[in-house]
Amino acid sequence: MKKAIYLMLLSALCFTVMNVFVKYLSGYSTYQKVFFRAIGSLVFTMGYLLYYKIPIGGKQKKLLILRGLVGVTSMGLFFASTDYLSIGTAVSLRYTSPIFAAILAVFFLKEKIFKLQWVYFILAFVGVLLIKGFDNEINIIGLSLILISAFFSGLVYVVISKIGTKDHPVVIVNYFMWISTILGGVLSISNWKTPQGNDWFILLSLGLFGYFGQLFMTKAYQLGSANKIVPLKYVEVIFTMILGMIWFGDQYPLLSVLGVLLVIVALILNVLFKQKVKG
Summarised one tens digit per residue, pLDDT across range 31-84 is: 999 999 999 999 999 999 999 999 999 999 999 999 999 999 999 999 999 999
pLDDT of residue 274: 84
pLDDT of residue 225: 67
pLDDT tens string 85-108: 999 999 999 999 999 999 999 999
Q: At what angle do helices 199-223 and 226-233 cross, to 10 degrees?
A: 160
Q: Residue 12 pLDDT more than 80?
A: yes
Q: In angstroms, rounded to a whole number, what is the distance separating the alpha carbons of residues 209 and 231?
A: 21
pLDDT of residue 232: 85
DSSP the chain: -HHHHHHHHHHHHHHHHHHHHHHHTTTS-HHHHHHHHHHHHHHHHHHHHHHTT--SS-S-HHHHHHHHHHHHHHHHHHHHHTTTS-HHHHHHHHTTHHHHHHHHHHHHT-----HHHHHHHHHHHHHHHHHHHH-TT--HHHHHHHHHHHHHHHHHHHHHHHHTTSS-HHHHHHHHHHHHHHHHHHHTGGG-----TTHHHHHHHHHHHHHHHHHHHHHHHHHS-HHHHHHHHTHHHHHHHHHHHHHH-----HHHHHHHHHHHHHHHHHHHHHHHHH-
CB 31 within 8 A of CB 184: yes
Span 7-32, average pLDDT = 96
Within 8 A by CB and 6+ apart from 198, the residues are: none
pLDDT of residue 114: 94
pLDDT tens string 165-219: 999 999 999 999 999 999 999 999 998 999 999 999 999 999 999 999 999 988 8
pTM: 0.93
pLDDT of residue 223: 82
Q: Residue 239 pLDDT more than 90?
A: yes
Q: Residue 25 pLDDT more than 80?
A: yes
Q: In angstroms, rounded to a whole number, what is the distance separating the alpha carbons of residues 119 and 60?
A: 37
Identify the band that residue 132 occupies on the pLDDT scale cut at 50, 70 and 90: confident
Q: Residue 278 pLDDT more than 90?
A: no
Identify the band that residue 220 occupies on the pLDDT scale cut at 50, 70 and 90: confident
In 3D space, the residue among 145, 171, 175, 187 whose CA is nearest the CA of residue 33 turns out to be: 187
